[in-house]
């Protein structure tokens, strides 16, 4: 049976969470998972919420990637993505085997440390090293597998470097498309995917896509300073939400 079932209170809660997640993702290029997956997990459990959230992310990424591909550093993106995909199986294993609370606490502490550094205005003006890029990808891939949230390490990595808002947003859109596809494959191999998810995706995807389109239009009127403030605010919300989830 579908997780959504009949249209009722559960459906409207899921639709509201997905709509808000779409607005955030369309504007910032990341952050939707921290809104959508915890809400869906409360309604349907984490082992259903994570693959459902990842499927919706893939549906959203398909129309966005062609539009932003020219703003991406593809060499660095390849290194990020390969490292992220390599760490995915470990994250999926943790999702199925490890209690979620220790992982949420560790992730929250890490994110808040990231935000504190950026809030004081620190930025790395040189070219990021390959080692730092690979390490970021590994951490993001692990988090994507275990909690469906690849964003915080990559966003910190990009915001701390010499990248404009449009480049940060474009890079996150492309990175998520790659690692989310890998996470879905890993979940499928682990037996955590079912065809009944297709109904939920068909019902929720139009809401998610429309909200993301509205968020993308809002991004077109934003400047770099506003984007950075919004991005840091989303990271703080991720950290707090992880502790309370």
Identify the DSSP state of 3: S
CA distances from 91 to 10, 34, 37 (A): 28, 16, 16
How many angstroms separate the first and last alpha carbons of the chain? 25
Identify the DSSP state of 161: T
CA–CA separation, 212 and 204 (whole Å): 12
CA–CA separation, 138 and 145 (whole Å): 11
Digits of tens for pLDDT over the chain (245 positions)?
Answer: 455 655 556 788 889 989 988 988 888 887 787 778 778 877 887 778 888 888 898 888 877 788 888 989 899 999 999 998 899 888 888 877 877 677 777 777 777 777 777 777 667 766 778 999 999 999 888 887 777 677 778 888 888 877 888 888 888 888 888 888 887 887 888 787 777 788 888 999 999 999 999 988 888 877 787 887 887 787 787 777 767 65
Q: Residues near 173 by Cβ (< 8 Å), separated by ≥ 6?
A: 29, 61, 64, 65, 68
CA–CA separation, 65 and 48 (whole Å): 26
CA quadruple 62, 221, 218, 209: dihedral, nearest 10: -20
Tell which residue, 191, 208, 214, 153, has the closest CA to residue 47: 191
Helix (H) or strand (E) holding 148: none
| Tokens at 207, concatenated | 């809401």
pTM of this structure: 0.71
What pLDDT does 1 receive?
41
State the residue for tokens 């993301």.
212
What pLDDT does 162 receive?
79
| Tokens at 35, concatenated | 């809104």
Counted residue by residue, the chain has a size of 245
Residue 80 near residue 153 (C-beta atoms within 8 A): no
CA angle 105, 110, 111 (to 5 degrees): 100
| Tokens at 130, concatenated | 């390959």
CA–CA separation, 66 and 62 (whole Å): 8
Helix (H) or strand (E) holding 72: none
């Amino acid at each position: 049976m579908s997780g959504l079932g009949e249209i009722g209170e559960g459906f409207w809660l899921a639709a509201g969470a997905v709509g808000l997640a779409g607005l955030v993702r369309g504007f910032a290029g990341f952050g939707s998972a921290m809104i959508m997956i915890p809400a869906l997990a409360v309604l349907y459990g984490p082992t259903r919420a994570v693959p459902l959230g990842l499927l919706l992310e893939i549906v959203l990424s398909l129309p966005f990637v062609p539009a932003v591909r020219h703003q991406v550093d593809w060499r660095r993106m390849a290194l990020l993505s390969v490292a992220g995909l390599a760490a995915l199986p470990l994250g999926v294993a943790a999702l199925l085997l490890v209690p979620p609370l220790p992982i949420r606490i560790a992730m929250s502490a890490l994110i808040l440390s990231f935000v504190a550094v950026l809030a004081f205005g620190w930025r790395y003006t040189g070219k990021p090293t390959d080692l730092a890029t690979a390490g970021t990808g590994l951490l993001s891939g692990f988090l994507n597998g275990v909690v469906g949230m690849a964003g915080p390490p990559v966003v910190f990595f990009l915001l701390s470097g010499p990248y404009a808002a449009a480049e940060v947003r474009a890079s996150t859109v492309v990175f998520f498309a790659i690692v989310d596809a890998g996470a879905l494959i890993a979940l499928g191999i682990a037996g955590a995917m079912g065809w009944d998810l297709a109904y939920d995706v068909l019902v929720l995807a139009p809401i998610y896509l429309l909200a993301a389109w509205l968020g993308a239009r809002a991004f077109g009127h934003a400047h770099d300073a506003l984007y950075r403030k919004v991005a840091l605010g989303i990271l703080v919300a991720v950290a707090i939400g992880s502790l309370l989830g």
